[in-house]
Amino acid sequence: MNAGFGSGGSFSQAVGENVSLENTKNDNKIMRGNERRCVNLFRMDKDTLIKLCLDLECHYKLKCSKKMTILEKVGMFLYVLVLGASNRQVQERFHHSGETVSRNFHEVLKAMLCLSIDMIKLTDPTFSNIPPEILNDDRYMPHFKDCIGAIDGTHVSACIQEENLIRFIDRKGVPTQNIMAACSFDMQFTFVMAGWEGKYYVVDAGYQQMEGYLAPYKGTRYYLPDFQFWKARWKILRIMPPYSFYVQRDIVIVSMALHNYIRRKALADPAFQRLDKSSNFIPSDIFRDADDIQAEESSQESGALQINALRDQIACSLMLANNDY
């Protein structure tokens, strides 16, 4: 179950042609409003979302259909990752059948896994340059000039069938899949091994000190901020739906690839911007909770209905007044 990672037609055609009016409305919903709304719903700004759609179409064989644009397909997929949304919730939000929602999710997941191969890897595989985060910081240079990254592990929520549950119980008594990742100093994942069972060993000194691996002093704990940013961005990692375990594993890998993609492509990601200004920043409040987003959407829809009703009332009154004359 472990997994490790070391077209036809233009995007404008996919958005604008051979799709129903309902799907055009969904695209408008995805892109309307200010940048903050897009970041809240899809965890990336509009420009980065468009770049992602273009890359998935041009390089990873994701295609539009007669009923759905690439933008809507990707938007639905990201909506699931951001909120941990169920099939029913996606149906209600995007107005598609459960079968269409499920088929689209796996289609985009397949394309995203191909993207992951290119995203989760070293940007300098020969290690010819000292990372600028080390080179330009007097606290770390020259002590860490030969350090190429950090390795750590974390746990992600897992939804496991009862007959296999015991194998995935972690030290807190809940089912998880165990994740090991290597990270660079610019907050990108360079390697991930996902899908381990939640079993653990009791050890007294953490990682063994050996050539090529610099372990912390005994009694000293550290936690890579990459994991905090990654988990804060995608709520599905905390409330995993009941997909097959292979799909749950693939979701972890794809979410890490998207983390890297946003780091490389987004010009103004709010979380990374705050991190770059303060290395001690913890992103617990930078991404809004799913309940807040859904409540805001319900409030906006309610407000729109009230305004529409008022408009209709005014129009009727004007028509009646004109008839009197």
Over residues 254-311, the pLDDT tens digits come to 999 999 999 999 987 877 877 777 666 655 556 665 455 555 545 445 455 566 666 7
Q: What is the pLDDT of residues 24-48, one digit of tens each?
A: 566 666 666 667 788 888 999 999 9
H/E segment holding residue 27? helix 21-31
Residue 219 has pLDDT above 50, yes or no: yes
Give the pLDDT mean for 133-156: 86
pLDDT at 11 over 90: no
What is the C-alpha separation between 231 and 286, in angstroms, rounded? 12
CB 151 within 8 A of CB 174: no
Tokens of 75: 């938007």
Domain ranges of the chain: 3-119, 293-325
Beta pairing partners, 151: 182
Helix axes 35-42, 46-60, angle to 10 degrees: 50
Q: How far apart are CA 74 and CA 325, in angstroms?
A: 54
3-state secondary structure of 324: helix
Integer Cα distance of 314 and 325 in angstroms: 17
Separation of alpha carbons 262 and 226, rounded Å: 13
According to DSSP, the residues that pair with 176 across neighbouring strands are 157
pLDDT score of 187: 87
Asked if the bond preceding 142 is cis, omega within 30° of 0, the reply is yes
- In angstroms, rounded to a whole number, what is the distance separating the alpha carbons of residues 121 and 163? 36
| Positive/negative CA dihedral, 100, 103, 106, 111 | negative
